[in-house]
């Protein structure tokens, strides 16, 4: 929300903007956005690399300014806003990286399990309750540590490395146990007339 240049005769200085914020005057937000919006956007864009994320960071920074003043009373508003938007942008990058990792782990675990699950067309013919019952019975028949590894990998989407750390074993051991379990699951489903 950029201010029209005719909205005032001169741009308020930082002290005036802070004073307006202290009085909870929303005009202060428009003034801060107009005066420092481009600076905040460039900081956020350099960090996030995304126009959309940068815009969200700027909006979050303006909201945080509203919530911080008072009691905060920054002398140099550009530095204050720059610090806020920088933190917001770094948080956004961390969030996006975590989302990508979680998403990729989710997809890779499903790809591993794909060979053991009925395809969608066959699933329509099969009774999903029967498939659920077979999966539950299969897991109940496994050693507790194998069952836990299976659930960690395919239901909590943990990495093989995370599972290995949890059990205090090598990652290659986790991989081999999961491969064997998938083979047993495939055989168990086949024996129970679940078409794959």
Grade residue 175 by pLDDT with cuts at 50, 70 and 90.
very high
Query: Which listed CATH number (1.10.287.1260, 1.10.1740.10, 1.10.10.10, 3.40.50.10860) goes with 5-101?
Result: 1.10.1740.10
Grade residue 37 by pLDDT with cuts at 50, 70 and 90.
very high
pTM over 0.85: no
Residue 195 has pLDDT above 80, yes or no: no
Range with the largest mean pLDDT of 31-40, 90-99, 108-117: 31-40
The mean pLDDT of 170-179, rounded to a whole number, is 94
Residue 28 has pLDDT above 60, yes or no: yes
- What is the pLDDT at residue 112? 79
Residue/partner pairs of 156-163 with CB below 8 Å, 24 or more apart = 157/102, 157/105, 157/106, 157/109, 158/105, 159/105
Grade residue 109 by pLDDT with cuts at 50, 70 and 90.
confident
Measured distance CA(185)–CA(62) in Å, rounded: 54
Boundaries of every domain in the chain: 5-101, 117-191
Q: Does the 117-191 domain belong in CATH 1.10.10.10?
A: yes
The CA R_g of the chain, rounded to the nearest whole Å, is 27
DSSP code for 119: -
Q: How confident is the prediction for the chain on average, in pLDDT? A: 84
């Amino acid at each position: 929300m950029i201010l029209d240049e005719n909205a005032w005769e001169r741009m308020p200085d930082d002290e005036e903007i802070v004073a307006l914020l202290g009085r909870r005057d929303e005009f202060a937000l428009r003034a801060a956005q107009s005066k420092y919006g481009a600076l905040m956007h460039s900081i956020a864009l350099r960090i996030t690399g995304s126009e959309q994320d940068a815009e969200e960071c700027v909006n979050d920074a303006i909201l945080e300014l509203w919530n911080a003043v008072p009691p905060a009373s920054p002398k140099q508003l550009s530095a204050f806003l720059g610090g806020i938007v920088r933190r917001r942008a770094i948080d956004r990058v961390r969030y996006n990286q975590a989302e990508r990792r979680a998403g990729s782990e989710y997809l890779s675990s499903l790809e591993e399990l794909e060979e053991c699950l009925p395809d969608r067309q066959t699933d329509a013919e099969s009774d999903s309750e029967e498939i659920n019952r077979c999966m539950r019975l299969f897991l109940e028949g496994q050693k507790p540590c194998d069952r836990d590894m299976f659930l960690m990998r395919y239901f909590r989407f943990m990495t093989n490395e995370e599972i290995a750390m949890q059990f205090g074993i090598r990652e290659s051991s986790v991989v081999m146990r999961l491969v064997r379990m998938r083979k047993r699951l495939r055989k168990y489903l086949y024996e129970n007339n679940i078409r794959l």
